[in-house]
Structure 1
Amino acid sequence: MAHQVEQMAYVGRTPWHGLGNKLAEKQPLEVWMEQAGLDWTIRETPVRFINGDKGHLGEILSFDDHKVLYRSDTHAPLSVVSQRYQVVQPREIMEFYRDLTEKSGFELETAGSLKGGRKIWALAKTGQSGLLKGNDRTDAYVLLATACDGTLATTAQFTSVRVVCNNTLAVALNGQSQCVKVSHRSVFDAEAVKKQMGISVSAWDDFMYSLKTLSERKVRQSEAEKFIRSLFQPRPGQAEQKSNERAMAKVLGLFEGEGRGADLPSCRSTAYGLLNAVTEFVDHERRARSNDYRLDSAWFGHGAKLKQQALDLTLDLVA
């Protein structure tokens, strides 16, 4: 089966999605761009079409309101967008981290592209971390991603990774994700985005306090089962559909001890353990066509939304 991942690179241990080229630490951005498969540019060309019938060469016309985006290296088409569409180049995604890695102690950990280059990302560790009971560590990261097919605004987002299991969770406070989004109708200004995100850096302590609170909230099995049903069964007003029994059974099993780190004091029979059962299911266990499809969903798609819903619901338990 064809992978969505075009190419990617990483440092340290193999990422949870099991993909990529391993690099030595503290490599320059130029090496990252080459090894992550991001040393190309997005080019533009007018849309052209032939107005003749099948089998007859007709007049070549242009569609002036739109343009074709394509790769400079392979000339493979990426998308058709409006003339107002502002392209963000792969190099811009990587350059976002130059001063952060050279002056602020950030460390690039993974970068690459999905869907033939239509979606591009880089992930860097900020140096911040937090500990819960049982030496259960969570590290802070900044994820920058963009797409050139209209599926994603350029998004800079604080995210967390629980070390014991590599579960990922977007940092959110009061139901709001700590991220900055730049529409492709606007020019991407990396420095302006960093200034906006500077307000959110201080939110890490508040986020870790929320996780600590979850780790101290004991959860009975009946509460866990109710939580899982509310997360996976149809919402009121939705068309009836068969509930995902396999998913619910798997999440419950992860919560009850099958999950990585489920036996740590922070997780055992707690709301934090319930949250991690969902994040582990999304990141590692949920059915997907391949690991790279699972990555795309866990960071940008339905999986990311499911994890956000789980965070909101667990925080309701301690409200």
Structure 2
Amino acid sequence: MGHNLNFNEHTGKYSFFSVQQKAWHGLGQIVTDYPTSEEAIKHAGLDYEVIKSPLFTQSRAMTVGNAGELIEGTDTPVPNYFANIRTDSNAVLGVVGKDYHIVQNKDAFAFFDAIVGGGEGILYETAGALGNGERIFITAKLPGYIRVGKGEDVTEKYIFLTTSHDGSGSITAAFTPIRVVCQNTVNAALRNMSNVVRIKHTAGAKQRLEDAHKVMGLANIMSEQLEGIFNEWATVRITDNEVKKLIQLVLCPNKETYDLLKKGAEDELSTVFKNTVDDAFGYAMMSDTQQMDTTRGTLYGAYNAVTGYYQNVRNYKDSEAKLQSIVMGGTAQGKAQKAFELCSSFAKEGSGILLMN
């Protein structure tokens, strides 16, 4: 897989750090202890600032001097547009409008510190910059766990944040639980409660970023509710055939495929779709993490079959594509949400929600 990590020519290091785990593509810094926010910024090479600089264009008109020489045209300011410039390298990160408000990297870490008060309990696990430093990302572990069964099946609670300095997208902070035994990202939005906060880069962005921890305080509420739901699912039995049907419904790419599934015409399904389902079903049946008391033959195991497939089986063109798919609202996150909704219905209504015969 390729990478797009920023390489800082001043330090000779890639802008990325992780705690104890192998760094991205073997690049970046591995640290043994969880750092403070100030240490994390330096480990990740994010200790730079961004400024808005007036944007100019050079006139194509040429004038002739007294001696007959050609003189280049003058610089003409571009009204209401600015270049975002990284101050340590003078790299241009993007072009933005007059209302765009820069959220400095240190402010992103301040957001995390504010969640639990003064940074106590926040564990910074990874952070880095992509491209020329126009996009940064941070993952931090929150105190406590989501425990399923007798406590041996543990899910850790994370918040993932990404922001950009190039004018694209919004500041995004997502509550992202990760099941420890298989590193599955358990992204599920409860009814009337999103696990994502998005903040626009406008004049009030910095203030809203500081206030976002109030919204992300819902992480505790979501954790409690998810723990209850997952423990319930761990007691709901589901047959292997029902697991496969659920996987088919979740991975169904279009209405045509859905109609074929509904009428039981599996012979007419595309080879690509059948192979994808077989890969996910194989993971559901054979992965060691699917043989635990909490997952073997249970609805909780069926849900983890989908999240585990996208995390541990499916191929992605590069690490950024995987990150986008699993954490930043891409395909895997959408499929996990669909699986969550189907499992919720199954728990209440039984196999009748699996429309195939």
**Which residue number corresponds to residue 77 of structure 2?**
62
State the secondary structure of the residue aligned to 1:156. Answer: strand
Q: Over residues 131-158 of structure 1, what are the superposed CA-to-partner deviations in whole Å (9 max), with x where a residue is unaligned?
A: 2236111111222222234543222222
CA contact (8 A) 2:85 2:91 kept: yes
Using the TM superposition, give the Cα deviation of residue 20 of structure 1 relative to its aligned residue in structure 2, in angstroms.
4.5
Distance 1:17 1:317 in 2: 40
**Which residue number corresponds to residue 177 of structure 1?**
194
Bigger shift: 204-213 or 112-121?
Answer: 112-121
Distance 2:168 2:280 in 1: 29
The count of corresponding residues between Structure 1 and Structure 2 is 315
Distance 2:158 2:347 in 1: 25
CA contact (8 A) 2:100 2:167 kept: no
Superposition TM-score, scaled by structure 2 size: 0.77
**Which residue number corresponds to residue 142 of structure 1?**
159
**Which residue number corresponds to residue 203 of structure 1?**
222
Distance 2:142 2:307 in 1: 21
Q: Over residues 42-61 of structure 1, what are the superposed CA-to-partner deviations in whole Å (9 max), with x where a residue is unaligned?
A: 222233333539xx955533
Residues 58, 194 of structure 1: CA spacing in aligned structure 2 closer, same or farther, 3 A cutoff? Answer: same
Q: Over residues 41-81 of structure 1, what are the superposed CA-to-partner deviations in whole Å (9 max), with x where a residue is unaligned?
A: 1222233333539xx95553332232222322333322222
Q: Does 1:125 align with 2:141?
A: yes
- How do 1:287-302 residues align onto structure 2 when only pairs under 5 Å count? 287-302=315-330
Q: Over residues 184-215 of structure 1, what are the superposed CA-to-partner deviations in whole Å (9 max), with x where a residue is unaligned?
A: 22322243112232244233111111122222
Q: Does 1:310 align with 2:350?
A: no
Distance 2:239 2:192 in 1: 24
Superposition TM-score, scaled by structure 1 size: 0.86
Distance 2:183 2:297 in 1: 20
**Which residue number corresponds to residue 279 of structure 1?**
307
Q: Does 1:81 align with 2:96?
A: yes
Q: Does 1:39 align with 2:62?
A: no
Q: Please tell me the residue identity of whatever aligns with 1:65.
A: N
Distance 1:300 1:114 in 2: 15
State the secondary structure of the residue aligned to 1:287. Answer: coil
Give identity over the alignment, percent. Answer: 26
Using the TM superposition, give the Cα deviation of residue 88 of structure 1 relative to its aligned residue in structure 2, in angstroms.
1.4
Using the TM superposition, give the Cα deviation of residue 32 of structure 1 relative to its aligned residue in structure 2, in angstroms.
1.0
Q: Does 1:230 align with 2:246?
A: no
Distance 1:193 1:265 in 2: 38
Q: Does 1:160 align with 2:188?
A: no
Q: Please tell me the residue identity of whatever aligns with 1:50.
A: Q
Gaps of 5+ in 1: none
Distance 1:16 1:215 in 2: 34
CA contact (8 A) 1:142 1:156 kept: yes
Residues 208, 48 of structure 1: CA spacing in aligned structure 2 closer, same or farther, 3 A cutoff? Answer: same
CA contact (8 A) 1:67 1:83 kept: yes
Which structure has the larger Rg? 2
Gaps of 5+ in 2: 7-14, 62-70, 260-268, 349-357
CA contact (8 A) 1:255 1:269 kept: no
**Which residue number corresponds to residue 238 of structure 2?**
219
Bigger shift: 94-103 or 277-286?
Answer: 94-103
CA contact (8 A) 2:2 2:319 kept: no
**Residue number among 231, 250, 264 corresponding to 2:292 in the alignment:** 264
State the secondary structure of the residue aligned to 2:284. Answer: helix
State the secondary structure of the residue aligned to 1:9. Answer: strand
Distance 1:202 1:145 in 2: 23
Residues 3, 257 of structure 1: CA spacing in aligned structure 2 closer, same or farther, 3 A cutoff? Answer: same
Q: Over residues 83-105 of structure 1, what are the superposed CA-to-partner deviations in whole Å (9 max), with x where a residue is unaligned?
A: 21122111111222335475542
CA contact (8 A) 1:170 1:177 kept: no
CA contact (8 A) 1:78 1:148 kept: yes
